[in-house]
Amino acid sequence: MHSAAVTARDIRAGLEQLGLTRTSAVIVHSSLSSFGHVDGGADAVVDALLATCGTLLFPGATSHATRLPAPPQVVRENNAIACAPDWASFDAALSKAAHFHQDLPVNRNLGLIPETVRRDRQHVRSSHPYFSYIATGAGADDLIAAQRLDWPLGPIEALWQRGGHVLQLGVSHATNTTIHLGEQQLGRGRFYRYAKPAPGVWMELPNIPGASHRFDTIEPHLRSSTRQVTIGACTASLTPVAEVLTVTRHLIEASPSALLCDDRTCQCFAEVQQRLRYIAGLDERSPAATTRYDEAAASRR
């Protein structure tokens, strides 16, 4: 073992070795600590990403600060969220939550790199109060414009249409939101959540993705289409978005419980129920999902 510091130059060389160029468009899922000691910290990683790639998409979600319980008695089927017991406690939660605004920090669970971009670099950020995205570079405006309040994963769909890639820096597929898009294109993994878009206001937001803690079981199925390098102590992987979507679709079509756990108390259970309803033709959300998938697939031809 050696503990030499990793530099921005090392990171840039590693990203170039993955095949990334100024025409590349990627969604970045990252762990700064996975590199070991980085000379310059998160700034050095961001410098290397900006120098190597043309368009970068980062998760910018703020659900940790803006989320609310479901309002009293608002029960959606297979939705895996608790309701506030009464309006007094819902209103208390509403006044306690932060409202979304452009300067609201990114959820710490998403790592320090997206927050560094938000705080210190030129970027575009969407204003979804639960599932915001941050983008930089040539395609940033297009990616961010593809998000709607009712279609939070639109930026990844736009990345797919550009022939983009998923870049994972020291993290597993448990962070890979593109798998959620694959699920949603099949009418699964679509939850209603509640958040605060402005002071004193609450909003119901459809198509929020669900659990991802079993997503790394996709890894052997993506191995042949994934490039991998080591940068310091970090394993960096690059996989085409199209490949992630195709493999997700195949796995879910083969088994309704694919990429989920079998704990009945987990959100995964509600997702399995959504998938079974879809197969039985009972889920009114499914046709829209299928149409959207077909339209997106057609526009790529």
Minimum distance between the CB of residue 216 and Zn ion, rounded to whole angstroms? 13
DSSP letter (8 states) at residue 189: S
Using CB under 5 A, which residues numbered 193 to 252 contact Zn ion? 211
Minimum distance between the CB of residue 261 and Zn ion, rounded to whole angstroms? 3
Residue 102, strand partner residues: none
Q: Kind and range of the H or E element at 94?
A: helix 87-96
* Chain-centre distance for alpha carbon 43: 22
Q: What is each CA distance from 55 to 4, 72, 123, 215, in whole angstroms?
A: 30, 42, 11, 25
Nearer to Zn ion, 186 or 268 (CB): 268
Minimum distance between the CB of residue 273 and Zn ion, rounded to whole angstroms? 13
Residue 208, strand partner residues: 191
| Beta carbons of 202 and 104 less than 8 angstroms apart | no
Nearer to Zn ion, 269 or 293 (CB): 269
| Beta carbons of 84 and 90 less than 8 angstroms apart | yes
Minimum distance between the CB of residue 275 and Zn ion, rounded to whole angstroms? 14
**Tokens in use for 233?**
């102590």
**Tokens in use for 269?**
């259970």
Minimum distance between the CB of residue 209 and Zn ion, rounded to whole angstroms? 13
Name the nearest CA neighbour of 236 among 171, 190, 176, 173.
171
Minimum distance between the CB of residue 272 and Zn ion, rounded to whole angstroms? 10
- Taking CB under 5 A as the rule, which mask of x and - marks residues 157-196 in contact with Zn ion? ----------------------------------------
Please give the Cα distance from 268 to 156 (Å, whole number): 22
Residues in contact with Zn ion, total (CB under 5 A)? 4
Nearer to Zn ion, 158 or 268 (CB): 268
- Taking CB under 5 A as the rule, which mask of x and - marks residues 254-293 in contact with Zn ion? -------x----x-x-------------------------
Per DSSP (E only), the strands in the chain are: 25-30, 55-59, 67-68, 124-125, 133-137, 165-169, 191-198, 201-208, 227-231, 234-240
Nearer to Zn ion, 17 or 257 (CB): 257
Q: Which stretch binds Zn ion (CB under 5 A): 24-32, 121-129, 253-261, 286-294?
A: 253-261
Please give the Cα distance from 80 to 98 (Å, whole number): 23
Nearer to Zn ion, 174 or 266 (CB): 266
Nearer to Zn ion, 143 or 258 (CB): 258
Minimum distance between the CB of residue 179 and Zn ion, rounded to whole angstroms? 14
Minimum distance between the CB of residue 217 and Zn ion, rounded to whole angstroms? 12
Nearer to Zn ion, 138 or 266 (CB): 266
Q: Is 38 helix (H, G, I), strand (E, B) or coil?
A: strand
Place of tokens 């070795």: 17
Nearer to Zn ion, 174 or 229 (CB): 174
Using CB under 5 A, which residues numbered 71 to 130 contact Zn ion? none
Task: Determine phi and psi for 161, rounding to 5 degrees.
Answer: -65, -20
Please give the Cα distance from 219 to 244 (Å, whole number): 10
The residues that touch Zn ion, with contacts defined as CB under 5 A, are 211, 261, 266, 268
